[in-house]
Amino acid sequence: MNLEDYHGVWVFIEEQEGTIAPVSLELLGAGRRLADKRGVELAGVIIGNQVKPLASTVFEYGADVVYVYDQTIFKDYRTESYMKALLHCCETYKPEIILFGATSTGKDLASAVATDLPTGLTADTTELDVEEDTGLLLASRPAFGGNIMATILCKKYRPQMATVRPKVMKALEAETGRTGKLVEEKIDIKEEDIRTKVLDIVKATTKKVRIDEADIIVSGGKGLGSEEGFQLIHRLAETLGGAVGASRDVVEAGWIEHHHQVGQTGVTVTPKIYFAIGISGAIQHLVGMKNSSMIIAINKDPEAPIFEACHYGIVGDAFEIIPLLIEQFSQALEKEEVNHVGEV
């Protein structure tokens, strides 16, 4: 393999029902930085059905080139069909780096493509950099359950591939009217070549606030002592109108379902207010919540690492503090309500 033959940074653009997944726009921001450092082009790859119009958005968020595979066979995401398109694109245009969102689709596709190429793939990256002269991608991620950070390199193979957690990178400000080179591609692929069919797509009907979209998150950890103790977290979240988060060990203990887990193997969150209650603060958890605008930690142990990561910390007993907080907050809101009435 001649490494010199590979040029450019690519982002796989994930599309759902005609809109681009936010993580893909975030990755265009990260990709732009890498491409500029290397002095190469940034490209987006869009695969789907009737997805060509999305190219303009991809240019506005920083891409110089957009490769589009717009065919009816790509209506639903399926590993085999998408993989064939992306492999075709890689063989034709030889990128040096490809970034994917660490979503169910991105991780699935990246794993399959990396095996077939074959090349190295780093999962769930939280930091990205590139060596200017060698083009070596420095992909860093928490490892061993978040006990350490590791920088992973892929020296001898190209492209270098990584999946990147949503909400860790920042999208650029969209530059209206910015445009670039649109390259339309097609592959010869028949429905009978694909061994899977999507029979149905069922949207979650839950009315609860999703933690990756919540403005306020109240997260609890093992420090709450028991499943019953954890109920306090639900009560505070309800009072504040926020979502409930949890640390990994709470999920593993079965106190709450996995989709509430904040952290490297859970969800990355960026709320305006994040409460970490009874959570000691392993790096695994910290990487999932460190981009919150305001972090408030409550823990009995004054040595807990969470206090190094918070904006405001209280050393104390959650069972004493949360009920007080609930009571005071409810009263404060009622008072505000009265004031508003007065003003009107």
Is 66 in a helix, a strand, or coil?
Answer: strand
Which lies closer to another protein via its Cβ, residue 35 or residue 240? 240
Our finding on whether 295 is near another protein (CB under 8 A) is yes
Largest CA distance in the chain: 75
Contacting residue, 41, 129, 185, 249, with another protein by CB under 8 A: 249
Our finding on whether 18 is near another protein (CB under 8 A) is no
Our finding on whether 320 is near another protein (CB under 8 A) is yes
The residue assigned the tokens 């670039």 is 180
Our finding on whether 124 is near another protein (CB under 8 A) is yes
How many Å apart are CA 94 and CA 187, to the nearest integer? 17
Which of 276, 318, 269, 313 is closest to 292 using CA atoms? 269
Q: Could you tell me which stretch among 25-33, 64-72, 92-100, 105-113 binds another protein (CB under 8 A)?
A: 105-113
How many Å apart are CA 123 and CA 269, to the nearest integer? 18
Minimum distance between the CB of residue 98 and another protein, rounded to whole angstroms?
Answer: 14
The residue assigned the tokens 């936010």 is 22
Contacting residue, 132, 148, 208, 226, with another protein by CB under 8 A: 148
Contacting residue, 132, 184, 252, 301, with another protein by CB under 8 A: 252
The residue assigned the tokens 């949503």 is 166
Structure tokens at 201: 């797509």
Our finding on whether 257 is near another protein (CB under 8 A) is yes
Minimum distance between the CB of residue 223 and another protein, rounded to whole angstroms?
Answer: 15
Binding-site residue total for another protein (CB under 8 A)? 95
Which lies closer to another protein via its Cβ, residue 41 or residue 215? 215
Q: E strand or H helix at 111, and its extent?
A: helix 104-116
Which lies closer to another protein via its Cβ, residue 176 or residue 199? 199
Q: Could you tell me which stretch among 5-13, 45-53, 89-97, 325-333 binds another protein (CB under 8 A)?
A: 325-333
Contacting residue, 71, 264, 270, 292, with another protein by CB under 8 A: 264
How many Å apart are CA 184 and CA 282, to the nearest integer? 46
The residue assigned the tokens 């429905």 is 191
Q: E strand or H helix at 137, and its extent?
A: strand 137-143
- In sequence order, what are the residues at sequence separation of 6 or more whose Cβ sits closer than 8 angstroms to the Cβ of residue 152? 120, 122, 139, 140, 141
Contacting residue, 3, 123, 174, 182, with another protein by CB under 8 A: 123
DSSP 172: P
How many Å apart are CA 114 and CA 131, to the nearest integer? 22
Over the window 212 to 231, marking each residue x when it contacts another protein by CB under 8 A and - when it does not, the resulting string is ---xx---------------
Type of residue found at 96: E
Our finding on whether 208 is near another protein (CB under 8 A) is no
Type of residue found at 9: V
Our finding on whether 171 is near another protein (CB under 8 A) is no
Structure tokens at 152: 């992973």
Contacting residue, 92, 115, 134, 179, with another protein by CB under 8 A: 115
- Per CB under 8 A, which of residues 40..99 are in contact with another protein? 76, 79-80
Minimum distance between the CB of residue 341 and another protein, rounded to whole angstroms?
Answer: 10
